[in-house]
Amino acid sequence: MEPIKLTYHVEGGDLIGAGEASSKMKMALKKLDLPQETIRRAAICMYEGEINMVIHADGGRAEVEIAMDHITIRMIDSGPGIPDVDQAMEEGFSTAGEIARDLGFGAGMGLPNMKRYSDEMKIDTTLGVGTTVTMRFNL
Amino acid sequence: MKLSTIREILDATVLSGEEHLDREVLAACGSDFMSDVLAYVKDQALLLTGLVNPQVVRTAEMLDMKCIVFVRGKTPDESILKLAQARDIVVMRSPRRMYDACGLLYLNGLRGD
Ligand SMILES: Nc1ncnc2c1ncn2[C@@H]1O[C@H](COP(=O)(O)OP(=O)(O)O)[C@@H](O)[C@H]1O
Ligand SMILES: [Mg+2]
Q: How far is the CA of A97 from the centre of ligand 2 (A)?
A: 11
Q: Work out which ligand 1 atom sits closest to the CA atom of A51.
A: 21
pLDDT digits (tens, 9 = 90+) for B23-75: 999 999 999 999 889 988 888 899 999 999 999 999 999 999 999 999 999 99
> How many Cβ pairs closer than 8 A exist between chain A and B?
70
Asked if the C-beta of A43 comes within 8 angstroms of chain B's C-beta atoms, the answer is yes
Q: Give me the pLDDT at residue B42, please.
A: 82
The DSSP bridge pattern shows strands A70-77 and A130-138 to be antiparallel
Residue among A73, A94, A103, A125 to mutate when testing ligand 1 (max atoms within 8 A of CB)? A94
Domain boundaries, chain A: 4-138
The DSSP bridge pattern shows strands A4-11 and B13-16 to be unpaired
Q: What ipTM does the predicted assembly reach?
A: 0.92
Q: Give me the pLDDT at residue B43, please.
A: 85
Q: Which CATH number fits domain A4-138: 3.30.565.10, 3.40.50.300, 3.40.190.10, 3.30.390.10?
A: 3.30.565.10
Is A53 near ligand 1, meaning CB less than 6 Å away?
A: yes
Q: Give me the pLDDT at residue B54, please.
A: 95
Asked if the C-beta of B106 comes within 8 angstroms of chain A's C-beta atoms, the answer is no
Ranges of chain A with pLDDT below 70: none
| Chain A contact probe: residue of B29, B38, B41, B78 with most A CBs at under 10 A | B38
For residues A24 and A38, the answer to whether their CB atoms sit within 8 Å is: no
Q: Give me the pLDDT at residue B99, please.
A: 97
CA distance A80 to chain B (A): 22
pTM over 0.80: yes
Sequence-ordered strand ranges (E) for A46-114: 59-66, 70-77
pLDDT digits (tens, 9 = 90+) for A15-54: 889 999 999 999 999 999 899 999 999 999 999 999 999 9
Half-sphere exposure of B96 (CA within 13 A, CB side): 22
Asked if the C-beta of B108 comes within 8 angstroms of chain A's C-beta atoms, the answer is no
A89 vs B contacts (CB less than 8 Å): none
Domains of chain B: 3-107 (3.40.1390.20)
Is A22 near ligand 1, meaning CB less than 6 Å away?
A: no
How far apart CA A70 and CA A27 sit, in angstroms, is 17
For residues A54 and B54, the answer to whether their CB atoms sit within 8 Å is: no
Residue closest by Cα to atom 24 of ligand 1:
A94
Please give the mean pLDDT across all residues of chain A: 95
